Amino acid sequence: MPEPQTRTVVVLAAGEGKRMKSSLPKVLHPLLGRTLVGHVLNAADPLGAARTLVVVGHGADQVRAHLAGIAPEATAVHQAEQLGTGHAVRIALEAAPEVTGTVVVLNGDVPLLRPETVGELVAAHEGEGAAATVLAAEVPDPTGLGRIVRDAAGRLEQIVEQRDATAAQLALREINAGIYAFDAARLRDVLGKLSTDNDQGEEYLTDVFKMLVSAGEPVGVHLAVDHIETLGCNDRVELAALRRLLRDRVNERWMRAGVSLLDPETTWIDVTVALDRDAVVDQNTQLRGGSVVGAGAVIGPDVTLIDTVVGPGATVVRSHAVGAEVGPGASVGPYAYLRPDARLAERAKVGTFVEVKNSEIGAGSKVPHLTYVGDATIGEQSNIGAASVFVNYDGARKHRTVIGSHARTGADNMFVAPVEVGDGAYTAAGSVIIENVPAGAMGVARARQRNIEGWVLKRRAGTAAAEAAERALGGTQGAPVVPSSASEGEPIHGGAESVGGTPEPGDTATE
Ligand code: UD1
Ligand code: CA
């Protein structure tokens, strides 16, 4: 067994990525939950490197800021001018003179690379005691890539760039993936001797191989089983192709883990998302960021979840959620919008055209239709009438509304915060609630209705409405066929879709 080597990871991320035509540095483009460079760092993570160096240049400040977030242990090394991949590795090692052992170099734009493959490359390299080992792949179309040139015995001779290759070399389909393992000391030796005598006038890292070969050092080639892993990203067409490939990989993994994806081609799951067994994801659904979907939950169709946790057995249909929590057995949508810190307890319901922000909705409570709930706490088993607004903002500050448990608020209510509705309280339909409603009380805050008898017959004579009224009144002008106004003690509650309770005559509830 060879001695365990100290490992250093060097990620090359200074290039501009001209063909992306973007103000964002290429390595910061997102791909299903990580940036390109984030994927590469993730692939190198299990190596347990003592140091991680990231060579930055184009958009260095942006790349540094991103690294501080995703890999605070990594050191950025600034490459002011992009003088080639060899130059980039050279300055990285100059910035870390103490580095010995194995140096693993990864191009920053190879996002489908799997940690297992990097691990196998490094194990092969260290096992052979090689001076350098390159990850290679057989590809259907090698255009633009460096070719692996072997001698008659099949040993690596050199790596030749597309633009420096002979016709015979161009026909080779074995390519350099841009992922390498080196012995630090021998790499340092040759890096100082790189020439710029090539079509691009750059220091090519790939030239290290022919230099080591001619010095009689052992070099190796490790072939990737699946060439897809080695695909680079140079423009947005390639980025989209990589996204589809990664989607398929992620989806296959979840289906094999017991998750049903009804339409995998329209299901986009970030690599950072977790799903439990028997979850069902219907078509046109995106699960992003730190989202988690519990066992047996049903998500979709047409759902986007961002950093949202959905409990077991919950249902989310045609909705958009960001930073929300949906409790076990809760139900959301169709057409709901859950914003940050919307928290639904178990079996709570947020229905159609309902927006919820920074609010807790207690167990079994329902907000069924056409409502905005902002900065509120709703207790258990309460029902919020349709078309209500939690008026949380006075133009300067946000205030909270508290609704107790087993409360039933009427349709078309405004809760002007700060305000509280007690346990078991009711509010009347059409109320603007500006004062607290004590437990068990009925809060009524609306103008009383007045009917002006015969108004249409007099003021709109000859219209279809007047004729209809005349027919209804049996020709006896002005004589009402129904009582025009209710007596004292009228039923005034107007809750939406009830949680038990019988609608009463005159109830203005919605269904
Ligand atoms: C490189 C390889 C090629 C290989 C291909 C795989 C060389 C000379 N060629 O070519 O054999 O098939 O990758 O994708 O290495 N970078 C820097 N500083 C620089 C130049 C590049 O940090 O001065 C970074 C880039 O940001 C990028 C990576 O190095 O992440 C590769 O550079 P790129 O210009 O894309 O190399 P290729 O021409 O694709
Ligand atoms: Ca490239």
DSSP 121-149: HHHHHHHHT-SEEEEEEE-S--TTSPEEE
Q: Is 27 helix (H, G, I), strand (E, B) or coil?
A: helix
Rounded to two decimals, the pTM is 0.90
59 Cβ inside 6 Å of ligand 1: no
Give me ligand 1 centre to Cα 232, in Å: 9
Provide CB contacts within 8 A for 357, sequence distance 6+: 339, 340, 341, 342, 373, 374, 375
The phi and psi torsions of 5 (rounded to 5 degrees) equal -95, 145
> What's the gap in Å between 105 CA and the centre of ligand 1?
11
Ligand nearest to the CA of 174: 1
Q: Which of 87, 369, 406, 493 is catalytic?
A: 369
Q: If you measure from the C-alpha of residue 302 to the centroid of ligand 1, how many angstroms do you get, rounded to a whole number? A: 39
Q: Regarding beta strands 349-357 and 331-332, do their DSSP bridges make them parallel or antiparallel, or are they unpaired?
A: parallel
H/E segment holding residue 379: none
Nearest CA to ligand 1 atom 34: 15
The finding on whether 161 has its CB within 6 A of some atom of ligand 1 is yes
- Extract the tokens encoding 293: 């979907």
The response to whether residue 381 sits with its C-beta less than 6 Å from ligand 1 reads no
The C-alpha atoms of residue 370 and residue 348 are separated, in whole angstroms, by: 16
107 CB near ligand 1 (under 6 Å): yes
Is residue 159 in contact with ligand 1, taking CB distance under 6 Å? Answer: yes
Query: What is the rounded distance in angstroms from the CA atom of residue 239 to the CA atom of residue 31?
Result: 8
CA of 129 to the centre of ligand 1 (A): 26
* Cα(109) to centroid(ligand 2), Å: 7
pLDDT attached to residue 16: 86
Ligand 2 centroid to residue 44 C-alpha, Å: 18
Cβ neighbours for 166, distance < 8 A, ≥ 6 positions apart: 160
**Which atom belonging to ligand 1 lies closest to the Cα atom of 12?**
22
Query: How far apart (Å, rounded) are the C-alpha atoms in residues 87 and 282?
Result: 49
Alpha-carbon span 292 to 269, nearest angstrom: 11
**How far does residue 86's CA lie from ligand 1's centre (Å)?**
9
Check pocket membership of 83 for ligand 1, CB cut-off 6 A: yes
CA-closest residue to ligand 1 atom 24: 12
| Residue 412 CB-half CA count within 13 A | 13
- Measured CA to CA, the distance from residue 359 to residue 356 in angstroms comes to 7
Residue listed under structure tokens 């025009």:
484
Separation between Cα atoms, residue 219 and residue 221, nearest integer Å: 7
Among all bound ligands, the one having the nearest atom to the CA of 17 is 1
Q: Which atom of ligand 1 is nearest to the CA of 14?
A: 22
Where is 212: in which H helix or E strand?
Answer: helix 207-214
Residues 6 or more apart whose Cβ sits within 8 Å of residue 473: 457, 479, 480, 481
Helix H or strand E segment including 59: none
3-state secondary structure 425-464: CEEECCCEECCCECCCCEECCCCCCCCCCCHHHHHCCCCH
Paired residues of 338 in beta bridges: 321, 356
Return the C-alpha torsion angle 362, 382, 370, 507, nearest 10: 180
User: Nearest to residue 109, comparing CAs of 49, 220, 24?
Assistant: 24
| Distance from the Cα of residue 501 to its chain's centroid | 42
The pLDDT of residue 489: 45
Q: What is the pLDDT of residue 327?
A: 98
Q: Is the CB of 175 under 6 A from ligand 1?
A: yes
Starting from the CA of residue 82, give the closest ligand.
1
Ligand 1 atom at minimum distance from 204 CA: 8
pLDDT per residue, tens digit, the chain (511 aa), is: 556 789 999 999 999 899 999 999 999 999 999 999 999 999 999 999 999 999 999 999 999 999 999 999 999 999 999 999 999 999 999 999 999 999 999 999 999 999 999 999 999 999 999 999 999 999 999 999 999 999 999 999 999 999 999 999 999 999 999 999 999 999 999 999 999 998 889 999 999 999 999 999 999 999 999 999 999 999 999 999 999 999 999 999 999 999 999 999 999 999 999 999 999 999 999 999 999 999 999 999 999 999 999 999 999 999 999 999 999 999 999 999 999 999 999 999 999 999 999 999 999 999 999 999 999 999 999 999 999 999 999 999 999 999 999 999 999 999 999 999 999 999 999 999 999 999 999 999 999 999 999 999 999 999 999 999 999 998 655 544 454 444 444 455 554 444 434 444 334 444 4
Is 498 near ligand 1, meaning CB less than 6 Å away? no
Pocket probe mutation, ligand 1, options 54, 89, 107, 164, max atoms within 8 Å of Cβ: 107
Residues paired with 268 in a beta bridge = 286
The atom number, within ligand 1, closest to the CA of 84 reads: 23
- Rounded to whole angstroms, the Cα distance separating 205 from 89 reads 7
Cβ neighbours of residue 407 under 8 Å, at least 6 residues apart?
A: 378, 379, 382, 383, 421, 422, 423, 424, 425, 426
* Rg from Cα positions in the chain: 34
Backbone angles phi, psi at 287, to 5 degrees: -115, 115
111 Cβ below 6 A of ligand 1: no
DSSP output for 228-258: GGG----SHHHHHHHHHHHHHHHHHHHHHTT
- Indicate the helix (H) or strand (E) that contains 100: none
Residue 369: active-site member: yes
Whether residue 411 contacts residue 510, with contact meaning beta carbons closer than 8 Å, is answered with yes
CA 131, CA 117: separation in Å to the nearest integer?
19
- Please tell me the residue having the least CA distance from ligand 1 atom 29: 12
Residue with tokens 């919307």: 342
Cβ(87) – ligand 1 distance below 6 Å: yes
Distance in Å, CA 81 to ligand 1 centroid: 14
